[in-house]
């Protein structure tokens, strides 16, 4: 019988953060189809650790004890317990993970949390308390029944709030440009555009 040692390792890439269990075999590599690759694949260097740090999320201090390069998305979901921000692609291509840093939309799936010390972070859970723009957007979303499955909508709303925060009277081109990075598999794009226009009219 081939002995098996299970090694826990972290895979860190610019677009993802996860941990996996990989089997490594001693003995005859033919014992398992994955044994040969597992036996010869080099292990990554040890994961860099930082001193614990503190983030300001939705106006509250949140202590974080995590790797330097852990993306903000996973700090929000796994440490702060704020699960309204969603994982979509891990590559900053879909917008589901959009949050605000100092009022500007960023993709939290590729942004190291440790780089945001001292900067105010706002998630969908705290957006409603930021002022009339957020309230107008959220009210318009509800009134227009924008969400279908709803998975992408927290990111859509955060991008819409950022747009109306800088432009209270956006045209179709402005809306399309601001929302281009937010994908919706349910194709609710027209409802999103309409809701943004309703919110803009409310703020006028």
Q: What pairs with residue 116 in β-bridges?
A: none
Query: Angle 189-203/132-143 helices, nearest 10 degrees?
Result: 130
Residues of the chain with pLDDT under 70: 1-50
> What does the pLDDT read at residue 39?
40
Edge to edge, what strands does the sheet with 60-64 contain?
60-64, 53-57, 120-122, 98-101, 104-107
pLDDT at site 146? 97
> What distance in Å separates the CA atoms of residue 129 and residue 181, rounded to the nearest whole number?
25
Per residue in 63-112, pLDDT tens?
Answer: 999 998 999 999 999 999 999 999 999 999 999 999 999 999 999 999 99
Task: Indicate the pTM of the whole model.
Answer: 0.76
**Interatomic CA distance for residues 55 and 164, integer angstroms:** 26
Q: What is the pLDDT of residue 89?
A: 96
CA distance 91 to 97: 10
Residue 68: the pLDDT is 87
């Amino acid at each position: 019988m081939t002995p098996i040692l299970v090694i826990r390792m972290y895979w860190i890439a610019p677009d993802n953060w996860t941990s996996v269990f990989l089997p490594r075999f001693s003995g005859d590599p033919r014992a398992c189809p994955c044994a040969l690759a597992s036996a010869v694949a080099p292990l990554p260097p040890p994961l860099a650790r930082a001193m614990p740090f503190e983030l300001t999320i939705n106006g509250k201090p949140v202590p974080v004890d995590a790797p330097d390069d852990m993306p903000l998305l996973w700090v929000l979901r796994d440490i702060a317990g704020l699960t309204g921000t969603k994982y979509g692609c891990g590559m900053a291509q879909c917008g589901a993970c959009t949050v605000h840093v100092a009022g500007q939309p960023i993709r939290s799936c590729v942004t190291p949390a440790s780089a945001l010390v001292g900067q105010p972070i706002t998630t969908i859970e705290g957006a409603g308390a930021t002022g009339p723009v957020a309230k107008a957007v959220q009210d318009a979303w509800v009134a227009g029944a924008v969400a279908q499955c709803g998975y992408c909508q927290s990111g859509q709303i955060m991008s819409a709030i950022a747009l109306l925060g800088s432009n209270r009277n956006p045209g179709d081109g402005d809306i399309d440009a601001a929302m281009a990075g937010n994908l919706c598999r349910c194709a609710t794009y027209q409802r999103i555009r309409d809701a943004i226009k309703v919110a803009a009219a409310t703020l006028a």
